[in-house]
Structure formats: structure tokens, C-alpha cells
Structure 1
Amino acid sequence: MDAKAKMLRKLMEIEFACVDLNLYLDTHPSEEKALQSYNYYSEQLKTLKTQYEQVYGPLMAFGQSASQYPWKWIDEPWPWEIQY
């Protein structure tokens, strides 16, 4: 697996943890440890997304991610086309 695929896979793992913790906190809003974990992984996700986009281009279009010149969104492979 190349560096781009490894980074993208790590992004997906952290994003999954954020979604899972988000759902848990919806039903357990007073769980301080879960909230701390959510905040930790949210920061990790933000940092990793920024690093990924600086090297490989935007992960999302429609105003969610800035792009370097030239327009990077059309570069292949698309994130969902990468073989793991």
C-alpha cells in the first residue's frame, strides 16, 4: 500500500471513530470520557485532512475544501477508486 492509500485509510479509520462516538454521545450526552475521545479524534481528523489535502488535493468539493492550482478535484484516482 502506498503512502497516499495509507493516509486515506487512516483518515477513514479516524472518521469512523468520530461518527461512532457522535452516535454514542447522542444517547449518552453526559459521558465525559466519550466527549473527550470525540474531541481528541475530531482534532486528529482535522489535522490529518489538512495534511492529506496539502499533499494530494481536496477530499471534498463544493466549497468544503480549498484547491491548489490547477484545480485538483479532477485528479485521479478518486478517493473511492483507490485499491487497498
Structure 2
Amino acid sequence: MNAFEEEREMMLRVQQADFVVVELTLYTDTHPEDAEALGQWREAIKEAAHVRRQYEKRYGPLSLLSVPTEQAIELGWRWNSTPWPWQR
């Protein structure tokens, strides 16, 4: 797998994890007494954060909420510098 494919694969994992969080959030909004779903929601948030941190550590921040990251502090992250994550 080349570098481009690796990054795309990691981005896909971020998107999948975020999707699970959104879906479980919607479900738990309408089923607040479902303890199992609330547990899944908590685990999904942890997993999504973990996957996002892995991506950002390697490729840079995905949003302003991610700043400051180690990369931003060390390298002086510039949002107007290309390529942006969706341009790679």
C-alpha cells in the first residue's frame, strides 16, 4: 500500500468512527433509557477520538478543534498552507 492509500484508509476509519458516533447520538436522543446504547455511544466516542488522534499525529489537524497539536506547536501550523487533508 502506498502513502496515498494509507492516508485514505486512515481517513476512511475516521469517517466511519464519526458516523457511528452520529448514529448512536441520534438513537440515544430518542431512546435515553437504553443503557446498552449509551454504553456503545461512550465507547464509540472514545474510538473516534483515538482514530482521529492517530490520523492527526501523522497527517495534521482535521479541524480547529484539533489545534494545538504537537505538530502545530512544533512546526507552526498554517491553515492556509496546502495541501489540506481533503486535497491529499
Same-fold call, TM > 0.5?
yes
The aligned residue for residue 31 of structure 1 is 34
Q: How many residues align?
A: 79
Flag the structure with more relative contact order, 1 or 2, with Cα contacts below 8 A and sequence separation at least 6: 1
The aligned residue for residue 10 of structure 2 is 7
Q: Is the 8 A contact 1:57 1:72 kept in 2?
A: no
The aligned residue for residue 47 of structure 1 is 50
Query: TM-score normalized by structure 2?
Result: 0.78
The aligned residue for residue 75 of structure 1 is 82
TM-superposed deviation, 1:80: 3.5
4+ aligned runs moved over 4 Å, structure 1: none
In structure 2, relative to structure 1, the CA distance for the partners of 1:38 and 1:12 (3 Å cut) is: same
Cα root mean square deviation, aligned: 1.7
- In the aligned structure 2, how far is the partner of 1:32 from the partner of 1:72? 43
Identity of aligned residues (%): 33
The structure richer in helix per residue is 2
For structure 1, the 5+ residue unaligned runs are: none
For structure 2, the 5+ residue unaligned runs are: none
The aligned residue for residue 21 of structure 2 is 18
